Amino acid sequence: MDQNSTLSVEDFVVAATSFYEISNRLADGWKLIKDENETYKTYIKKHTFLQVERDGVQSLLKTELVIFFNLSYGVPAFSFNIWNSSGVLLTLEEIRHMSFVTLNQKEFYSVITQQEHPIFLRPYFIVHPCHTAELLSALRQGSKNIIVTFLGLITPLLKLDLSMEYGL
């Protein structure tokens, strides 16, 4: 893979900052947490609520979304946790049923894994970054913000409700 396909930490921080500025303009609630000493630990996160319906039952879920930099792959990475209204963490199986695309267990489990978060050192669901670079390199030239572009890979899996104004 050519060097064009990966992102440097600096690229990531620039994109994260501009993403944060768009979010501020739209009052979308993303926060930018910068680590001045260890730049690669810079991340953006958002706490929000998801309304889902399953088997005719509506429920409100608390969601924490974190976009951080994957140092090994040189790409943005997506991690999240979802809790139900009693504060219980959702299982991967419950999350699978919420996604737009119908994926079987094997396929879904090969994309999202619960693992120790490289920054928080706590368990998070993390989307595998193995194909991110390939796709981002295709769109990198024309993209206005690589993190917005990157989130396009996540939207089919998880309802993000990202405002269309991010694309303008």
Partner 1 sequence: MADDKQTEDSSTASEIKSDGDKENSDPGKSDKVKIDILLKATGNAPIMKKKKWAVDAEKPIGWIMEFVKKYLKLEPDEKLFLYVNQTFAPSPDQLVKNLYECFGTDGKLVLHYCKSQAWG
Reduce the DSSP state of residue 146 to 3 states and report it.
Answer: helix
Binding footprint of partner 1, residue count (CB under 8 A): 41
**Is the Cβ–Cβ distance between 111 and 77 less than 8 Å?**
no
- Fill in the per-residue mask, 81 to 120: x = in contact with partner 1 (CB under 8 A), - = not in contact: -------------------xx-x------xxx--------
CB of 16 vs partner 1, minimal distance in Å: 15
Reduce the DSSP state of residue 153 to 3 states and report it.
Answer: coil
Identify which of residues 116 and 165 has a Cβ nearer to partner 1 in the complex.
Answer: 165
Binding of partner 1 at residue 35 (CB under 8 A)? no
- Distance, in Å, from the CA atom of 135 to the CA atom of 12, rounded to the nearest integer, reads 16
Identify which of residues 85 and 105 has a Cβ nearer to partner 1 in the complex.
Answer: 105
Kindly state the tokens that stand for 74. Answer: 């040189």
Binding of partner 1 at residue 135 (CB under 8 A)? yes
Q: Is 85 left (phi over 0), alpha (psi -120 to 50) or beta?
A: alpha
Binding of partner 1 at residue 130 (CB under 8 A)? yes
Q: In what order do the strands lie in the sheet with 43-54?
A: 31-33, 43-54, 57-70, 75-83, 123-127, 112-116
**Is the Cβ–Cβ distance between 51 and 105 less than 8 Å?**
no
Closest listed residue to residue 65, CA positions, set 52, 53, 77: 77
Q: What is the DSSP letter of 106?
A: H
Among 14, 50, 98, 148, binds partner 1 (CB under 8 A): 148
Kindly state the tokens that stand for 36. Answer: 């001045």
CB of 142 vs partner 1, minimal distance in Å: 3
Among 16, 82, 90, 157, binds partner 1 (CB under 8 A): 157
CB of 153 vs partner 1, minimal distance in Å: 6
Binding site for partner 1 (CB under 8 A): 78, 100-101, 103, 110-112, 127-132, 134-135, 137-139, 141-145, 148-149, 151-157, 159-162, 164-168
